[in-house]
Chain A
Amino acid sequence: MAFAEYAWLIPIFPLIAFVVIGFLGNRLFKKWEGGAPVAIGMTAISLILSLVVAFEALTTGDGTPFVQSIEWLVVQSGDFAFTFNMGIYIDNLTALMLIVVSFVATLVVIYSLGYMHEEGEKKRRYYAIISLFISVMLGLVLASNFLQMFIFWELVGLCSYLLIGFWNTRPSAASAAKKAFLVTRIGDIMFMIGLFVLFVGFQGNLDFEYIFANVDAFIGGNDLLTFGTLMIFGGAVGKSAQFPLHDWLPDAMEGPTTVSALIHAATMVKAGVYLVARSYPVMVDTPTTLLVVACIGGFTALFAATMALNNTNIKRVLAYSTISQLGYMFLALGAGGYIYTQTLEPNVGYTAGMFHLMNHAFFKALLFLSAGAVIHAVHTEDMRLMGGLSKKLKITSLVMLIGCISIAGIPPFSGFWSKDLILEAVFEGISVSPVFAVLYAFGLATAFLTAFYMFRLWFMTFSGEPRDQHTYEHAHESPAVMWVPLALLAALAFGSGFAFLFGFEASIVPHGVFEFDHVASAGDLLVAMFTNVLTYASIIVALAGIGLAYLMYKKKSIDPARFTSGTVGKTISNVLLARYGFTKAYDWIGLKVVYGVAKVADFIDRRIIDGIINAISAGLIRAGGFLRRAQTGLVQAYAVVVVAGVSLIVILLFLVGGI
């Protein structure tokens, strides 16, 4: 492991960029695009290092992780002692995440050069924070224990908050940032509770290496461990915007599109999935948690997809799609793990989840950045004002089409491979538990809806006649600095799925839990896949979705208004636009419940706790006011007291002292 020794440098370089851009003045960076070259350079160095380290880990490792750590905090008090380490933990999962994060980050920073060009002095803040984000995200991926991971977990949350609120003079952006921060905070608190449980159960050792090797050493019983892992999953729910903490992600689209692409599609929201995958060796001891993971994932996948159906904001549709796809990943992880706990047979659930994570990072970043190019061209996010843009934005429309096909799951584009693998993994579970039949139906329905709303988006944006002549005339193709990253991402969105044929399945398995005895060759995998009837089921539903979108929005032979005209249709449509009332519910909880509790706490604090203190002080003040009368200011009065006191002492000495 020659290069892995230097893996700790990976997060350091973007951090240097953050310090340099963030703490040196505006004047210096005025000519330099607000420090963009520094950010790009440092991120690129990280990318190269990440690729080298990841390549080494994937090719030379035998599955045992490379761990390197230093003692960070040593606590010793009597028999009670523990040590917190800071370090790096590199296995195949880390390698995969490193590739995804640093690659997408580099492309997004380059793309920002074009997209953020008109932001003026604010650019410096943007590049500083995005460098910090890249640094802490890479740190999160490399963390060697749960506490270190939690620290970086909070830091990415902070960067997310700062970047969602980038246009901080817009009230909607400011409140979206606060919402994102507070809602994910609920998850973070659950994560923290989970850490407390693990901390107690593993007697103060939170190192991945120790915990994964000694899951049996947990003291407190399986119920407590189940509670702990459930709470850790709660953290993932918050970060990855799963039901019921999903509502912050659509609002997070108030930030710049580059931020949405990097943080809210490709990397940060994947941290939750990564956390569950990382905790796999612990979670396989708690089947209940895994079942919950699968159910929440499956439900969220369908639930979020429905909300994307009639939204007209191009970024919001992509946000719902992100939530839905993250649900897929949780579904795969949960299903694979649960099936393993019941049958003890290796299965592809875990691999499928991580595979989809990788593919999704590429095609969703591509979709977001293409949407960004469209927004850059027409200066609106409302799809009703677009249309016919493919004539003006040739490259953008082409790469976005690749992204749409990929996410819809048409072979041989990347989304097909992972989505099919997920559905296959869930289908396997039907023999274990009937719940999985429902989840499989959810997954299949989601595949249909995904194909439909993605192509609805594409047709509404790029095909047909321009709906708003003014925006159409001003539209222009993006500069090369924007479309080159798009082209690179498009190549990956098309091709990253082939990793499956070249040993992905063998590399990304939960080491320490199970391994595949023998790995099929590319040809066998292809044959197995295309002789399976399930594969055709998922292709057919995807094609059906695309076909429906084509009929409704391209050929217009089915009028979309037909679905919203009747009372039922109108109600459903309004419910979807109101996000099933979740926004209202959050507000209600915030205003009524939290504010009510706060008022009670305020009353206790002000009236009861402060009241006691104030009563004591008021009593003392009154006593002092009474006693100060003794100070008359007359020197003779004092002299009287002195003489009386001395006399008294002398008399007492005579009486008691026995002189």
Chain B
Amino acid sequence: MIPIEYFLALSGILFVIGVIGVLSKRNAIVVLMSIEIMLNAANINFVAFSAYYGNLNGAVFALVSIAIAAAEVAIGLAIIMNLYKTRDTISLDEINLLRW
């Protein structure tokens, strides 16, 4: 059996990659993808602990989380589409209307 630390390390690495993507990329679609990576890092944690404790709650929660992620992507893409229609750009640097 693979020790749980490996899963946690993988999840941690994925999460950090996602965070860096969210913070540094300009393209809104890339940011959305990075958020998906972060979510999947969390899902790996759920499944890993579920297997570790022999309790299916975690696995079920991971499924729920995947469903939510799908919905979120749909909404996120719709927002980005509208953004592109109205402002002709999806670069997050240029989308700063809600400031002082």
B-contact 0/1 string along A616-657, CB 8 Å cutoff:
000000000000110111111001100100000000000000
* Chain A residues whose CB sits within 8 angstroms of the CB of B1 once the complex forms: none
How many Å lie between the Cα of A216 and that of B21 in the bound state? 92
Given A628-B100, A629-B100 in contact, is the A634-B93 Cβ separation under 8 Å? Answer: yes
Contact yes or no, B96 A634, CB < 8 A: yes
Contact yes or no, B100 A639, CB < 8 A: no
Within 80-100 of B, Cβ neighbours of A (below 8 Å) are at 92-93, 95-100
Contact yes or no, B23 A632, CB < 8 A: no
* Chain B residues whose CB sits within 8 angstroms of the CB of A636 once the complex forms: 22-24, 31, 92
* Chain B residues whose CB sits within 8 angstroms of the CB of A632 once the complex forms: 96, 99-100
How many Å lie between the Cα of A418 and that of B31 in the bound state? 106
How many Å lie between the Cα of A643 and that of B100 in the bound state? 22
How many Å lie between the Cα of A632 and that of B98 in the bound state? 8
Given A628-B100, A629-B100 in contact, is the A634-B92 Cβ separation under 8 Å? Answer: yes
How many Å lie between the Cα of A255 and that of B98 in the bound state? 67
Closest 4 CB pairs of A and B: A633-B99, A633-B96, A628-B100, A633-B98
* Chain A residues whose CB sits within 8 angstroms of the CB of B22 once the complex forms: 636, 639
How many Å lie between the Cα of A631 and that of B93 in the bound state? 14
Within 588-631 of A, Cβ neighbours of B (below 8 Å) are at 628-629, 631
User: Which partner residue on chain B sits nearest A638 by CB separation?
Assistant: B98
Q: Is B69 an interface residue (CB 8 A)?
A: no
User: Which partner residue on chain B sits nearest A647 by CB separation?
Assistant: B19
**How far in angstroms is the closest Cβ of chain B from A623?**
14
* Chain A residues whose CB sits within 8 angstroms of the CB of B100 once the complex forms: 628-629, 631-633
Contact yes or no, B19 A643, CB < 8 A: yes
**How far in angstroms is the closest Cβ of chain A from B86?**
16
How many Å lie between the Cα of A234 and that of B23 in the bound state? 81
How many Å lie between the Cα of A635 and that of B100 in the bound state? 13
How many Å lie between the Cα of A639 and that of B22 in the bound state? 8
Contact yes or no, B19 A635, CB < 8 A: no
Which of B23, B95, B97 is close to A639, meaning CB atoms less than 8 Å apart? B23
How many Å lie between the Cα of A389 and that of B76 in the bound state? 103
**How far in angstroms is the closest Cβ of chain A from B84?**
16
27 contacts between A and B (CB under 8 A): A628-B100, A629-B100, A631-B98, A631-B99, A631-B100, A632-B96, A632-B99, A632-B100, A633-B95, A633-B96, A633-B97, A633-B98, A633-B99, A633-B100, A634-B92, A634-B95, A634-B96, A635-B92, A635-B95, A636-B22, A636-B23, A636-B24, A636-B92, A639-B22, A639-B23, A640-B23, A643-B23
* Chain A residues whose CB sits within 8 angstroms of the CB of B23 once the complex forms: 636, 639-640, 643
* Chain B residues whose CB sits within 8 angstroms of the CB of A634 once the complex forms: 92-93, 95-96, 99
* Chain B residues whose CB sits within 8 angstroms of the CB of A631 once the complex forms: 98-100
How many Å lie between the Cα of A636 and that of B95 in the bound state? 10
**How far in angstroms is the closest Cβ of chain A from B30?**
12
Within 8-60 of B, Cβ neighbours of A (below 8 Å) are at 19, 22-24, 31
* Chain A residues whose CB sits within 8 angstroms of the CB of B97 once the complex forms: 633
How many Å lie between the Cα of A633 and that of B92 in the bound state? 10
* Chain A residues whose CB sits within 8 angstroms of the CB of B19 once the complex forms: 643
* Chain B residues whose CB sits within 8 angstroms of the CB of A635 once the complex forms: 92, 95
How many Å lie between the Cα of A343 and that of B24 in the bound state? 106
**How far in angstroms is the closest Cβ of chain B from A643?**
6
* Chain A residues whose CB sits within 8 angstroms of the CB of B95 once the complex forms: 633-635
* Chain B residues whose CB sits within 8 angstroms of the CB of A643 once the complex forms: 19, 23
How many Å lie between the Cα of A239 and that of B58 in the bound state? 90
How many Å lie between the Cα of A636 and that of B93 in the bound state? 8
User: Which partner residue on chain A sits nearest B24 by CB separation?
Assistant: A636
User: Which partner residue on chain B sits nearest A644 by CB separation?
Assistant: B23
